[in-house]
Amino acid sequence: MAIHPLAAVSDAAKIGPNVRIGPFCTVESDVTIGAGCILESGAVVKDGTTLGADNHVFEGAVLGGMPQHVHMPENPGRVIIGSGNTIRENVTVHRALEAGRLTVVGDHNLLMVCVHVAHDCRIGNNVIITNNALLAGHVTAADRSYISGGAAVHQFCRIGTLAMVGGQAHIVKDVPPFVTLDGLSSLVVGLNHVGLRRVGYDQEAIRELKAAYRVIYRSGLTWSEILRRLKVEFADGPAAAFYEFCSTTKRGIVSERRVPPEATIKLRRQPEDEPQIRAKAG
């Protein structure tokens, strides 16, 4: 254990072996820091926070801050951070709003510069959240989801496993697993093929996911009919996650972005005698 003499570390904090704490860090009393963690200069770990092993916390990050709420709780919950996470500069992770509840960050996640994780959020494993992304209270980001820079996620929304959220997206409904969401429109634009291939999904699994995707977004069925087909036709394999996710949504799911058939695209300056350009949905 190596604690810089300019760090302020409470004697009551539980510090594991091989921990390095840099200058100007603050570690309060009700804190546990697991073996092999590194706290760079100016990092703050506040009461009610537990870090697992081998986390790297960079300059200016604040873990365990009080929840941002108009009614500040007297007895807030805790922050639990797993192992192997990289938490970059000026990240903020807040305690749960009520005693007995948790804000959870799992294992092997990357939280880039200025990410905000609000009270009662639950981040899975191998999640990447990039610069300036904002997660409001009670947001869930499932395993291997990817949230791009500047995206803002409304409270109580869920991001499904292996979903890819584009930069500056505004998320106000649940994002199903395995899909890509365009940042400009904040709408779904298909499966996350790149992510699926990177984690080793074979062509058969991807075909099943594509078929289930079409049931959700292309079938024209009612919501109850969509859920019935997902449950019956995709009971096994990765595609089964669609039913599990969609059947439990409380906010609804993000719509698909599609060009309407025979959509008309008008030129900025179009002579009266020239026809309009027509685009057909592919």
The bridge status of strand 38-39 relative to strand 26-27 is unpaired
Interatomic CA distance for residues 183 and 146, integer angstroms = 12
Clarify whether 54 is annotated catalytic: no
Residue by residue, DSSP assigns the chain as -EE-TT-EE-TTSEE-TT-EE-TT-EE-SSEEE-TT-EE-TT-EE-TTEEE-SS-EE-TT-EEEEPP--SS--SS--EEEE-SS-EE-TT-EEEPPSSTT-EEEE-SS-EE-TT-EE-TT-EE-SS-EE-TT-EE-TT-EE-TT-EE-TT-EE-TT-EE-TT-EEPTT-EE-SBB-TTEEE-TTT-SEEEE-HHHHHHTT--HHHHHHHHHHHHHHHTS---HHHHHHHHHHH--SSTTHHHHHHHTT-SS-BPPB--PPTTEEE--SS--TTSPPEEE---
Interatomic CA distance for residues 76 and 227, integer angstroms = 38
**Catalytic, out of 119, 124, 149, 160:** 119
**Catalytic, out of 47, 120, 143, 174:** 120
Clarify whether 94 is annotated catalytic: no
* Residue 54: C-alpha distances to residues 17, 82, 179 (Å): 11, 9, 31
**Catalytic, out of 137, 149, 166, 195:** 137
Catalytic residues: 119-120, 137
